[in-house]
A and B are shown apart, each in its own frame.
Chain A
Amino acid sequence: MNTAPGVWLSGLAAVAALLPVLGLVAAAGRVRSAYWGMLLLCGLGVVLCAGFLIGDSAAASLSVPIGLPGAGILLALDGLSAFFLLLLMLIGTAAATTALDDDGGYAATSPLLPVFVAAMATTLLAADGFSLVLGFETMSLASFGLVLTNHREPPVRAAALLYLGMAAIGGACLIPAMALLVHAGPAGVDLGFAAIRGHAPHGWRAIVILALVLVGAGSKAGLAPLHVWLPPAHAAAPSHVSALMSGAMTKVALYVIIRLLFDLCGTGQPVWWGVPLMVLGAVGAVLGALRANIESDIKAVLACSTVENVGLIAAGIGLALAARAADLPALAALAMGAALLHAMAHGLFKALLFLGAGAALHGAGTRAMDRLGGLIQRMPVTTGCMLVGAACLAALPPTSGFAGEWSLFQAMIAGPRLGGVVLQMLICVVALLMALAAALAAAAAVRLIGVAFLGRPRTPRAAAAHEVGYAAQLAMLGLALLSLLAGLFPGVVLSAAAAALRQTVGLTMGDRASLLHISPQTSTTGYSAPAIAILLGLAIAGVAWVVRRRAVAGHRRGPAWDCGFGAPPAWLPFGDPITQYGGGSFGQPLRRALGVVILGATERVDMPEPGQTRAARLVVRSKDPATALLFQPVIRWRGALSAQADRLQFLTIQRTLSLIFAVLVLFLIVIVLVEQL
């Protein structure tokens, strides 16, 4: 079945090269043509990736004579990059379709959106250090521009600046990591991945590379504790951009982690290499899921849930890394397969949820949970798609989220065969944290749907919400369908990841993944989504039948305990919406139980003074521990350092000269010491 692998690669390279041209087309004012072109190119990319993966083609590489003088850039397509490219192109197609909706105000993003997708595709196709960094940094810059789309609002500018700062930190770590990886041979520096694979790093070099990659790519993926930029940036960006950033860009960063740590660092790394990824992933998962229950902005909720899911995937990657080092290929394949499956599942359903949140923003004019409500009446298609996405987010069987998290948990449960007692205890703790995160994510999904889409509208604007255009509906429906299919047939996704698994851990899931069935071990029973779906369907139908059969004919309305949410009085046409459960009240038990400890949440009742006519307010504050424990101390140190440096500006002439003299003498002493040693 080896049908000329170069064809797929050339096609994808052409797609990546033509997308920036569309950016120019859009800049020239032909916005709709650009989005149509992006739709076609991304669709073509989907076909090419699918063709490559279905054909199980051999890896191909292609040298492009542009880029570094004398070297050009090297592109390659293998199972790992094709898997992630497929996800990217699917989400790109959906984003372009959404943007074709006329009245969405999507024109402002048109020049940069194709460039953003092209940069991500370049990162995924890169086969040398230069093009990988080039693609990664272009991706950061393009997405920074896209986050800034509504730059007149101060929070957007603040979010974009935070994002740019984190991207700069990421770049400042990724580039040295790449520099440490490349091998300087007698024939000069060879940036190609093939040369790097031939000289895998070891010793302190490998440890530094691990740390730099975790910070450099992890900050982009949203790995704790560098996830603080995600909620504000995703909330600030236009929704189809958020969908791409959350669904595809975080996955591209995870791809970079996999590519560098699994592929380029070689197989000779110690077992503890997986530990940082597991610990950071589990901590981030709990943090993200808990924050998702507290945020009041629906897009920030989704972004926090992205932090959670990236954490889960990273924990799976870490387990695979440790298992591969411990020479347990079956476990490594299970963990890696689960991570890839969940990456695909999360990419699809999170893009769907962000597009749905964008539809809610478009239809009801706000992202604030406490100003929405009752959208199911006015936006049935959007709400239906959101329900599918939220079911995935809550990991309900038989959705794709369940398949991904179930396999991740199976891998974790199989994990204690690994390493010594310390590592085994650690894996148990990681598994516990992941379970907590999954439960919190389910609560967050219920909160999102229940508060924003069910109930009664809380504002007249929400009551007058209108459904989005057909193009945006089509994009959401397509992603919902894909999510459902991925949930029903996770074995198909795993077989698409087979080449990636063979490449990273040396073993595929084999017969543990089939069309209808996946199982953690060959001998044990596993999970068959279609069967679960049929059983659930039968159970629901049976319950409906019994209820209908035993119901009393006709119905009457009687007084009932209504939690203070009774029928609306006549003078309030929409009821008294404030008496409904809101986002804050739904999250209160979790906030009090866990938020006080983890997020330092505080509540204060702001009572009016006697005589004042304003209402009393409940002021709730919480702070991400990454901000409190990492960023604020760093900011304080930076301030102290710059104050010290500032004092140098006001030295006397003599002290300035003495300083220069002392530095000169110091350098000379260094020269002497270097000479002597």
Chain B
Amino acid sequence: MTPRIAYGAFSYDLAHLLGAAVLVLSFALLYQRRITSIIGFYAVQSVLLAVAAAWQGWVQDSTHLYITALIAFAAKGVAIPVALRNIVFRLRIERSVDAALGVFPTMALGVGLATLSILVVLPTTVESQTLTREDLALALSVVMLGLLSMITRRSAITQVIGFMSMENGLILAAVGLPGMPLVVELSVAVLVMVAFVVFGVFFFRIRDQFDSLDVSHLDRVGGTHR
């Protein structure tokens, strides 16, 4: 069987486009200020991830990628954003903003990180096929941007979104690699769900204690031996 995916083929272009779209949404997540719009962009990114997974499922002709796509869509595209919105409205912080570093520095950092990812992945994976390499580069960029948004944000909710968008990058890498077993993706998905539940409990505890979701309040109680 000739590989359905090859350089220049339509399937290749579309897979590439979807991966790039996920990356672009990571950039969008990076500079958004309003919490509700961050949640919205996260939902869109997850849906795009689900589409990418489904497309890969069709290209690689493997059923389990459809399951991955379904999980991504249902859990991360719908359930988690809805739950987050509920939390936001219950905590009455839907109007609050969580400014990151500022648009230009954030974008500059993000572009730098994406460049770094490409520079790392492309030379080190010369033996692999082209799509896998570029897919990996995109996925690594998404992971790096997720990490960056985790450390630039102050609010716990936005940090959690950064964490989950990082996880989107991992899934993107996993679906791009032919032969990755389903159990890996499932376990990652379950992990994220559990983490989400824990974080959800945490939000309310932090809010109860400090009347704010700003994690810098935690620092005061962190180091008792200081």
Contact = CB atoms under 8 A, between A and B. Distances in A.
Interface of A: 649-650, 652-654, 657-658, 661, 664-665, 668-669, 671-672, 675-676
A649 B222 CA distance: 10
B226 A665 contact: no
B184 interface: no
B223 A650 contact: yes
Interface residues on B, range: 20 to 34
Interface stretch (B10-18, B71-79, B145-153): B145-153
Interface in B7-36: none
Nearest to A664: B147
Contacts of A671: 120, 124
Given A649-B223, A652-B218, A668-B117, 6 more contacts: A653-B218, A654-B154, A657-B151, A658-B151, A665-B144, A675-B120
B120 A650 contact: no
A274 B15 CA distance: 68
A514 B217 CA distance: 87
A660 to B, nearest CB: 8
A120 B151 CA distance: 57
A428 B88 CA distance: 85
A654 B219 CA distance: 9
Contact of B222 (A652, A657, A658, A669): A652
Per CB-CB distance, the 5 closest pairs between chain A and chain B, nearest first, are: A650-B223, A675-B123, A652-B219, A672-B119, A657-B151
Main secondary structure of the interface of B (DSSP, over half): helix
A653 B215 contact: yes
B223 A657 contact: no
Contacts of A669: 116
A650 B225 contact: yes
A649 B226 CA distance: 9
Nearest to B119: A672
B113 interface: yes
A222 B26 CA distance: 63
Given A654-B151, A671-B124, A675-B124, A665 B215 contact: no
A665 B222 contact: no
B113 A652 contact: no
Nearest to A659: B151
Given A671-B120, A675-B123, A675-B124, A661 B222 contact: no
A329 to B, nearest CB: 55
B216 interface: yes
A409 to B, nearest CB: 60
Interface string B147-183: 1101100100000000000000000000000000000
B87 to A, nearest CB: 20
Contacts of A658: 151
A341 B102 CA distance: 78
B124 A653 contact: no
Nearest to A656: B151
Contacts of A650: 222-223, 225-226
B223 to A, nearest CB: 4
Contacts of A653: 215, 218-219, 222
Contact of A668 (B120, B216, B225): B120
13 contacts: A650-B222, A650-B225, A650-B226, A652-B216, A653-B215, A653-B219, A654-B154, A657-B150, A665-B116, A669-B116, A671-B120, A671-B124, A675-B119
B59 to A, nearest CB: 29
A661 B116 contact: no
B84 to A, nearest CB: 20
Nearest to B123: A675
A672 B215 contact: no
A668 B225 CA distance: 34
Contacts of B226: 650
